[in-house]
């Protein structure tokens, strides 16, 4: 069973992702609300995929990504940004930062779960 870290400051998004990934598809899901909480949770290790919101107060997704990549094992975990900011230039900059994928909000839960399956099998 793949282990997924969900990082989003919106409670409704966190709930929807937990339901889609955990209850419907059986992933083990850890949900946090900020970049700082993500860094702390990630230190516990064992994640296959990180779904990371780009726009969060305090530490944004790009800064959080840098911290996660610097941790042991952080360079091999598949990280996907989950964002409403998905213009071509934005997506290019996210990919240049090293994310495996960019998933747009609003999202189709079934399509998102299918993509997480692919990411969990592919690593970074």
HSE on the CB side for 60, CA within 13 Å?
6
The predicted-structure confidence for 25-84, as pLDDT tens digits, reads as follows 789 999 999 999 999 999 988 899 999 999 999 999 999 999 999 999 898 899 999 999
pLDDT at 122: 62
Helix (H, G, I), strand (E, B) or coil at 2: coil
The model's pTM = 0.93
Instruction: Please tell me the CATH superfamily of domain 3-122, with its number.
Output: Response regulator (3.40.50.2300)
Q: Is the pLDDT of residue 13 over 90?
A: yes
pLDDT digits (tens, 9 = 90+) for 63-77: 999 999 999 989 889
All structural domains of the chain with their residue ranges: 3-122
For residue 96, the tally of other CB atoms under 10 A from its CB is 8
pLDDT at 123: 52
């Amino acid at each position: 069973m793949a282990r997924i870290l969900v990082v989003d400051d919106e409670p409704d998004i966190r709930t929807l992702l937990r339901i889609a990934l955990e209850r419907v598809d059986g992933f083990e899901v850890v949900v946090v609300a900020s970049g700082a909480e993500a860094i702390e949770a990630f230190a516990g290790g064992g994640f296959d995929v990180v779904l990371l919101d780009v726009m969060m107060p305090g530490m944004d997704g790009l800064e959080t990504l840098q911290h996660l990549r610097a941790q042991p094992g952080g360079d091999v975990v598949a990280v996907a940004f989950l964002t409403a900011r998905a213009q071509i230039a934005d997506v290019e900059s996210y990919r240049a930062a090293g994310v495996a994928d960019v998933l747009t909000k609003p999202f189709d839960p079934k399509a998102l779960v299918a993509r997480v399956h692919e990411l969990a099998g592919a690593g970074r």
